[in-house]
Amino acid sequence: MSDPKPGVAQVLIADDDPTVVLLLEHVLEAMKRPYETADDGEQAWEAWQRARHPLVVLDIEMPKLDGLEVCRKIRAADEQRATFILIVTGRDRAADLEAVLDAGADDYVTKPVTGQRLLARLKIAQRRMAVDEELRKARWLAGIVETNLALQHEINNPLAGLLGTAELLMLDAKERDEFVEQMEVIVEQARRIAALVKRMGELRDPRTVPYAGGSRMLDLKEPT
């Protein structure tokens, strides 16, 4: 397997045909898309697990693991279909092409291939990937909105009851000249929760920030 080209390898080329690999390299360099190559299906699967490339170009016939098997493995691990898979195949019968799509490939190109044909398929892949990314972002935003509405509904009612009861108890305690510091803490924290729920409802451009363990969380800090 070759070393990744400069920059993050966005494309994985898996083909044991040096002519096809060379064509793909020229096309991707013209498109300024960083890539790496694998000589067989096993190397391709290992490389994808390591880098999760957004675009994978697979030859259908490779040593160790064929392109269809690699395609199935990627699809099984890539539940969001974040990787676009282009199959290069020398088979052009309807049943063979159907098998390519059934394995989870997004597109295919049949041999013999030319630089122009590869460029056209990769540009199509690039446009499809951009559209898919926008759709994923839209679904994510929709999920945030739906979650916010559910949380506001489920939290606001009991929170209002808690806050109202705490304030009544605090007023009652003050009238009797009793110590109310703990009750003031309860009221203060309840108001903080209410302000947080309100900010969640006002989110228009949700952003995430780093959190423990390398994960990320919604940024709900008060605007500065």
153-182 tens-digit pLDDT: 677 777 777 777 877 877 777 777 666 677
* Amino acid of residue 72: R
What does pLDDT average to over the chain? Answer: 80
* pLDDT 10s digits, 54-107: 999 999 889 888 999 999 999 999 888 889 999 988 877 788 788 888 898 988
Is pLDDT above 70 for 18? Answer: yes
Is pLDDT above 80 for 149? Answer: no
| pLDDT-based confidence at residue 112 (cuts at 50, 70, 90) | confident
Strands (E), the chain: 11-14, 35-38, 55-59, 84-89, 107-110, 208-210, 216-218
From first CA to last CA, the distance across the chain in angstroms is 49
- The pLDDT of residue 75: 93
* pLDDT 10s digits, 182-208: 777 777 877 777 777 777 766 666 677
